[in-house]
Structure 1
Amino acid sequence: MEESQEIKLFASDLDGTLIPVDESPDPQQLREFHDLIQSRSEFTLAYVTGRHFELALAGLALAGLPVPHYLVCDVGTSIYRSLSPLADKFDPSSWRPMESYSRQLSRLWDKNAVEVVEDTLLKINGVSLQEGEKQGNYKRSFYCTELSRELKEALAPWRERLCVVESFAVDSHYALIDLLPRGVNKLYAVRFILEELQMSPLEAVYAGDSGNDIALFESEMHGIVVGNAHQEVKAAVLANNWEGGENYIARGKTIAGVLEGLQYFGVRGG
């Protein structure tokens, strides 16, 4: 890559990026990732996931990933700060929600619109609310058997008042619908962290693999597209010449691709 600002923040998606979908992380690659993060005292680590907080912690502990400084959950609608970043173990009591972020989202949350959309969606065959623990203060989530034309038409009038995220569950045949505050997503949360740290976006790298990561690859940050990323993600990155950070499409999958990309952007062990 061309000469640029030093990378100070690494943010990454979890499932399919740092956490392989169908297997455990490679022990050697995991050790290399730990060593790289631990060797850079000025580095800030953030994980960004659609999982709710408890499920995110469980997944991170099971995968053996290093404890981050920040954990973005619920598709960007909650941020937690660790009191013991880079510790060896995940302690659920050592996390605090970022209240300043919650206050900001509360001003954007259109509760009335959400209630109307919920009533409308639940009348459509195949749509149901997700479990209580998968809901958030600023996130209303649904399962649906398919992203039908009827469903899309029901959502269309509300897209200017709410952020509507459509995706597919990694471990099931269900499609997922998330209603979020307008303009809020993973990118919004990472930008908030950058502002909190008073960092330039060009001092940040984000790694991901799926459609809800494209907004970050289109942003002013640098991006790592891991080798196992969905083809539509790679195609979107290759087809567009947006202004902002540089994107690197790795050959390696999951953690191997992350390590490859970080090396490309000059992030090496100290």
Structure 2
Amino acid sequence: MSDFRLLLCTDLDRTLIPNGHQPESVNARLRFSHFCQNPEVSLVYVTGRHQQLVQQAIEEYQLPQPDFVITDVGTKIYQVVDKDWIELPDWEKRISTDWRGKNRQQLEAYLKDIDALERQEETKQNTYKLSYYVPLDADHHALMQQVSRCLEAQNIAASLVWSVDEPAQVGLLDILPRSASKLHAIEFLQHHLDLSDKQLLFAGDSGNDLHVLSSHLQSVLVANASAEVRTQAKILSSSQGHVEQLYLAGEKSKDDNGNYASGILQGVCHFMPEFCRLIESRKAK
């Protein structure tokens, strides 16, 4: 059994990183960083960003160094040791079989006639992640059905993840191996570290976090999430019988608005009240 008691998994953009429209609580990120210094806490970043963009965010926003990083919407897992990023090769071996030996360039060729898809920059692609921009006025439900049919015709087992980049006002569609997702990557890491569900907490804000937010894992939806995602999270968690595993952060005081890092810390206190004293002791200083 691992020697820490909390595997704290968090999305970055608009979850820990305050790059949404809503205000950040004063000192919330600093309190979060101090909390993560506790030896009983192991920090995991779970993000759509690739390695270089995660490292850039850590420096730009003065984020604590993680112990593990799940990047590219769950397609890569790294252990971070003294700032060295060590990829876990067993994860890529596990997800590779879903695409039947095909690469993302071949998948892209299968989808070339779908006009609404605009391929994202090369830096946002990897071996098992094919990402597109989609206009917000497009019928993304019908589009995803069309993409699914094209890939199924080629015997490709894929997972389609829809989300919205609110600042850029554009839809995002990630095509991944079916077994590659934030949820499956977190579960792989959980088993790799021999941890129970009670030792794990996830924090997120957007559509590509919904699979985790509505799962059996303890999760917190930060208060700055959109009304649509908030509604979807409640409906999905209820339909799957996981209402007790989802905490919706909210404004508690002028110094704790539930947005970003303050929402993550609210989730920690909700599910693991024994850690609250560590958070509050830092707040009082």
Q: TM range, normalised to the smaller chain?
A: 0.7 to 0.9
Pick aligned residue for 2:157 from 154, 161, 171: 161
Matched, 1:110 2:100: yes
The amino acid that maps onto 2:27 is Q
Contact 2:51 2:71 in 1 (8 A): yes
Equivalent residue runs for 1:239-250 within 5 Å: 239=235, 240=238, 242-244=240-242, 246-250=245-249
Counterpart Cα distance in 2 of 1:247 and 1:177? 25
Pick one of 47, 50, 65 that aligns with 1:49.
47
Using a 3 Å threshold, how does the CA distance of structure 1 residues 131 and 236 change in structure 2: closer, same or farther? closer
Give how far 1:26 is off: 5.2
What residue identity is the alignment partner of 1:37? C
Q: Which residue of 1 aligns with 2:65?
A: 67
Corresponding residue for residue 282 of structure 2? none
Moved more, 146-155 or 51-60: 146-155
- Counterpart for residue 175 of structure 1: 171
Q: In structure 1, what is the Cα distance between the partners aligned to 2:182 and 2:70?
A: 8
What secondary structure sits across from 1:224 in the alignment?
strand
* Conservation of the 8 A alpha-carbon contact between 1:142 and 1:177: yes
- The structural deviation recorded for 1:124 is 2.9
Query: Hey, what's the Cα distance between the residues in 2 that align with 1:60 and 1:196?
Result: 25
Give the secondary structure class of the aligned counterpart of 1:151. Answer: helix
Gaps of 5+ in 1: 1-5, 85-90
How far did residue 153 of structure 1 move? 4.5
Structure 1 residues 247 and 126: alpha-carbon distance in aligned structure 2, compared to 1, 3 A threshold: closer
Question: CA–CA distance in 2 between the matches of 1:202 and 1:119?
Answer: 43
Among the aligned pairs, what percent are the same residue?
30
Q: Which amino acid aligns with 2:45?
A: Y
Q: Aligned pair count?
A: 256
Residues 1-270 of structure 1 aligned to structure 2 (within 5 Å): 8-22=6-20, 28-38=27-37, 40-84=38-82, 91=83, 94-112=84-102, 117-146=107-136, 147-148=138-139, 151-157=143-149, 158=151, 161-239=157-235, 240=238, 242-244=240-242, 246-251=245-250, 252-265=258-271, 266=273, 267-268=275-276, 269=278
Q: RMSD in angstroms over aligned alpha carbons? A: 2.5
Aligned partner of residue 107 in structure 1, secondary structure: helix
In structure 2, what is the Cα distance between the partners aligned to 1:201 and 1:142?
A: 33
| Structure 2 alignment gaps of length 5 or more | 251-257, 280-285
Aligned residue identity for 1:142: Y
Q: TM-score scaled to structure 1, two decimals?
A: 0.85
**Which amino acid is 2:147 matched to?**
L
CA apart distance, 1:241: 5.5
Superposed CA deviations along residues 142-180 of structure 1, whole A, max 9, x for unmatched, are 223354477334213136721111222244233222111
Report the alpha carbon displacement of residue 203 of structure 1 after superposing the two structures with TM: 1.5
Contact 1:19 1:63 in 2 (8 A): yes
Cα distance in 1, alignment partners of residues 56 and 202 from structure 2: 22
Cα deviation for residue 19 of structure 1 reads: 0.5
Answer yes or no: is the 8 Å Cα contact 1:228–1:254 preserved in 2.
yes
Report deviation, 1:112: 3.7
Residues 101, 168 of structure 1: alpha-carbon distance in 2 compared, 3 angstrom cutoff? same
TM-score by length of 2: 0.81
Deviation digits for residues 71-99 of structure 1 (CA, Å, limit 9, x no counterpart) = 11100000111002xxxxxx4xx111111
The letter of the residue matching 1:79 is I
Aligned equivalents of 1:183, 1:113: Cα separation in 2 = 16
Q: Report the counterpart of residue 3 of structure 1 in structure 2.
A: none
Q: Deviation of residue 47 (structure 1)?
A: 0.7
